[in-house]
Structure 1
Amino acid sequence: MSEAEVIKRSKVAVTRSLLIRDLQRIGLVEGMTVIVHSSMSRIGWLCGGPVTLISALQSVLTPSGTLVMPAHSADVSDPADWENPSVPSPWFHDIYQEMPAFDPRRTPTFGMGRVAETFRSFPDVRRSNHPIYSFSAWGADRDALISRHPLDDGLGKDSPLGKIYDRAGYVLLIGVGYGNNTSMHLGEYLSGKLEMVERSSPVRMKGRRQWVTYQDGDYHEENFEAIGKAFEASQPGSAVFRFRRIGQAPSILLAQRAIVDFTARYIKEKSEESK
């Protein structure tokens, strides 16, 4: 959506002070651990752009809290796996030879949006070391969350998602739906029904670039909207989620552990029903 279209659809200029008010109203508080997924265009015309949203989130959480965003780079991977678009197979050899190794400081995010890409380079933000499933974090538990991100099962129990789960953290969806809720992949993993596949990426090990192969889940986020709606219906009036608008964006704050556990149970039950 162009900036002109966003301005036309905006009722007011969305400012930092307005965002802070809305974030507090939805339930964000000092000291919370939260992973944020957002759509800039759904918020409305934002005075200061993504920097304003990140600053507002940090102000509410304070340094005693922890702010996390996905910093995925799915393009740092085997070109044979690429779809929408794919590339001609005669190109593969050159890609294998020349693709830069993943670098947490330099590799841009891919398809994560302006807010996540801006957050990646913010002062005091650090990024985990996974070629396709990295996360950026700021705040009190930053280092604990991003350290030792394993290559295998990059969205599993030992990933930053699993560490947010262990800390009873939250998910904040600003203008996006459950299809963008990366934490639900942890539910897929914990269901025990996730099929595993091999992937490969260029990384730097012992000072040299090399392609490494690792185990990954065959994830299915296309099912997340249906799972999310079933989650909401299963707990009417529950305190595990809250709905508000942040700027003009319909938003949800929910307990990460609740949606992860529900996703795992839902997938297990559906798998049993299909037998």
Structure 2
Amino acid sequence: MPTPPPTGPLVTRDTVAAHLRDLGVRPGEILLAHTSLSSLGWVCGGAVSVVHGLLDALGPDGTLVVPTQSGDLSDPAHWANPPVPRDWWDTIRTSMPSYDPLVTPSRGVGIIPETVRTWPGALRSAHPQTSFAAIGPRAAEILDGHATDCRLGEHSPLARLEALHARVLLLGAGYDTCTSFHLAEYRVPSPLVEIGRPGPAGWETVTEVSIDSDRFDELGHDFERDCPVVRGLVGAAEARLFPVADAVAYAERWLPLHRPREEEILHPPPLSTSFERGDPHL
């Protein structure tokens, strides 16, 4: 069968930059972007053109930040996407390479964050499972000090982004990808979870706040109903733009009412449904 022709619209670097400016992205601001390349249309140059367009809209004084999670650096006993045989678990634990911000690829966040991660001059934070990468003059200020026992809390780039009045861009991505909501989980009563992962000295276990994007779509719907969110199109992608601080503050009020959780230590949920292995946006 012949290959079907590509579907549009045709999107270029200039298209992305122009549409982002129309949406309200400002030169010099800090932008936390959650992205889906496939939602944009037929992009000439793919992810590279999208990153160029984002940087063009932000200008030389702006800073682009993306999540570069590597949730596969985790205990294989909890993998479900796909699971692996039980008799492999010990070998995987002893053989898995530890996190290296320069080498470890991102997983489950799509090709645009991976392109940012490998961009000339990009920096990456230190957490082995929930790192962020950034390009721009404020990258180090945002990323430095990401504690290895604080995935998305007060000692993560999210808290820096909140304090620096950064905004979130959902570019073809839904509220289920909105990492800013996770910062609120650290500020309301939440269970703790034991996390297994490879470390510099071998396999290690740390106790962390449990994070889960369950019901984030519902949370996002209510947030957009009650708070100012700029909406528009970038190419064919639906885009949303709003302050990190607004999203965190709203989630701090919403989560205790809609998802009450008791303080306890839990085992993590299967990684097919947990934060660490979110759906990829290709």
Answer whether TM exceeds 0.5 for this pair.
yes
Aligned to 1:194: 190
Unpaired segments of 5 or more residues in structure 2?
263-282
SS of corresponding position for 1:155: coil
Shift of 1:271: 5.4
Deviation, 1:113, is 0.7
Structure 1 residue 242, shift from structure 2 partner? 0.4
1:213-232 superposed matches below 5 A = 213-232=205-224
Q: Could you tell me whether the CA contact under 8 Å between 2:15 and 2:53 is conserved in 1?
A: no
- Partner in structure 1 of residue 98 of structure 2: 101
SS in 2 for 1:19: helix
What secondary structure, in the 3-state scheme, does the structure 2 residue paired with 1:140 have? coil
Contact 1:193 1:267 in 2 (8 A): no
Amino acid paired to 1:258? D
Query: Aligned partners of 1:224 and 1:90: how far apart in 2?
Result: 35
Answer yes or no: is the 8 Å Cα contact 2:27–2:58 preserved in 1: yes
Correspondence for 1:90 among 70, 87, 91: 87
Aligned-residue offset at 1:194 = 1.6
Give 2:144's match in structure 1, choosing from 140, 143, 147.
147
Give TM-score scaled by structure 2 length.
Answer: 0.88
Q: Which residue identity is paired with 2:230? A: R
RMSD over aligned CA atoms reads 1.8
Helix, strand or coil for the counterpart of 1:221? Answer: coil
Q: 1-side partners of 2:254 and 2:46: how far apart?
A: 38
Aligned residues: 260
Q: How far off its partner does 1:232 sit?
A: 1.4
Quote the Cα distance in structure 1 between the aligned partners of 2:102 and 2:199: 13
2:14 aligns with: 17
Alignment check: 8 A CA contact 2:116 2:135 kept: no
Partners of 2:167 and 2:243 within 8 A in 1: yes
Match of 2:240 among 242, 252, 258: 252
Runs of 4+ in structure 1 off by over 4 angstroms are none
Aligned partner (choices 108, 112, 115) of residue 109 of structure 2: 112
SS at match of 2:186: helix
The superposition leaves residues 112-162 of structure 1 with CA deviations (integer Å, 9 ceiling, x where unpaired) of 111111111000101111110011011111111111111222100110111
Return the letter of the residue paired with 2:104.
T
Q: 1:66 aligns with which of 55, 58, 63?
A: 63
> In the alignment, is residue 181 of structure 1 matched against residue 178 of structure 2?
yes
Aligned AA for 1:232? E
Give the SS at the match of 1:25. Answer: helix
Q: Residue 78 of structure 1: CA displacement?
A: 1.3
What amino acid is the match of 1:201? Answer: R
Structure 1 residue runs of 5 or longer lacking an equivalent are none
1:40 to 37, 42, 57: 37
Q: What SS does the corresponding residue of 1:9 show, helix, strand or coil? A: coil
Which of 28, 33, 58 is equivalent to 1:31?
28
Superposition TM-score, scaled by structure 1 size: 0.90
2:131 to 134, 146, 153: 134
Cα distance in 1 for partners of 2:184, 2:108 equals 22
Pick the aligned partner of 2:120 from 120, 123, 130: 123
Question: Percent same amino acid among aligned pairs?
Answer: 34
Which has the larger helix fraction? 1
